[in-house]
A = this chain, B = another copy of it.
Amino acid sequence: MKITINSVAEKAGVSVATVSRVLNQKEGYSEDTRLKVLKIMKEMGYQPNALAQGLAGKRTQTIGVLIPKLSSMVASTILNGLEDAAHKKEHSVIICNTDNDGKRTTKYLQVLRQRQIEGLIIVSQQLSEEEVIFLKKMKIPILLISTANENFKHIKVNDYAASYDATKYLIEKGHEKILFLSGTKSDPIAGLPRVFGYQQALKDHGFKVKPELIIYGDFDYESGKVNMKRALEKKLDFTSVFAASDEMAVGALNIAYNHGLKIPAELSIISYDGTKLSEMSTPPLTVLNQPFYKMGFDGLNMLIDNINGQKVVSRDIPYSIIERESIKRLS
């Protein structure tokens, strides 16, 4: 026997309307009936059916999250913030690991639509033309985290500025020969801007940008290793490396170590991201820290504000440099 609002009403000797009222704390009943209904609800262990509530016009309090590469520290930290915020706001989160696959993304978008999500969060993923069109047609609030698109609002760090400052930090430590282990060259959000920031900082301090010191990878550990190895084999001239992700930094570290290079004595490294990985590295990495948890947390709150009719604006969230032990000051 299912226990519904009907059975509660019956047992309490009132109408379903009344039960619904006390359930939703609307007005229109005496203290007496309130207590009575509440008591019966508790006795019977009543739980409202969210599907029915949603159908009947109540908010579904569901938000969808599109995320490529679920199993990375960056993604899971953002997700953590996202989920914490959602929980505090009494919302549920349906996660969708798109795997950076267009087909899969499309499929998910449909599913989420069917499930009547009230808002959508897209994490670190670039949007194609068709996706943008589809998203717009969904007519629900959308917020991007750690990525950007002219059609939607976002929360992210300013990659260009962050990269500029990381480079500047290195320069102020006396480094001018900086090997830049870049991420994906074709990535207009997390790829190129970091390269530009690096280049501009060099120029602004009167140093020449040497193209051979910029090597493109894909943000992953392996590419950090491969490119570091290449740089070493080519005997490129550099005293420090700036890696565009923690994973790449750790990969570079591994190669450097195997070449007998002491960090930071013989080579300095600054990383970009600030996941737990950069802390757990040996030595711990000085890093341009992105507040991933906060991005997730704040991002979800921005989305909910938007759902509630408030206007939200794109936000560049502050980054910071966390000084650890991978950089040596050159005199």
Number of copies: 2
Interface residues contributed by chain A, number (CB under 8 Å): 53
In the complex, which residues of chain B have a beta carbon less than 8 angstroms from the beta carbon of A73?
A: 71, 73, 76
Contact B293 A280 (CB under 8 A): no
Distance of A54 Cα from B62 Cα, bound (Å): 15
Closest beta carbon of chain B to A300's beta carbon, Å: 13
The reply to whether A116 and B51 contact each other, CB–CB distance below 8 Å, is yes
Min Cβ gap A291→B in Å is: 13
Interface hit among A86-94, A152-160, A186-194: A86-94
> Judging by beta carbons under 8 Å apart, are B95 and A83 in contact?
yes
Fill in one digit per residue for A33-75: 1 if any B CB lies within 8 Å of its CB, else 0.
0000000000001011111101100001000000000111101
A257 at the binding interface (Cβ < 8 Å): yes
Q: In the complex where A116-B50, A137-B45 touch, is A93 in contact with B92 (Cβ < 8 A)?
A: no
Q: In whole angstroms, how far apart are the Cα atoms of A97 and B52 in the complex?
A: 25
Q: Which of B52, B257, B276 contacts A282 (CB 8 A)?
A: B257
Other contacts beyond A75-B76, A253-B282: 9, CB < 8 A:
A45-B137, A47-B114, A48-B114, A51-B55, A71-B73, A71-B80, A251-B280, A277-B277, A282-B282
Interface residues of A (CB under 8 A from B): 45, 47-52, 54-55, 60, 70-73, 75-77, 79-80, 83-84, 87, 92-97, 104, 107-108, 110-111, 113-116, 137, 221, 247, 250-251, 253-254, 257-258, 276-277, 279-280, 282, 284, 293
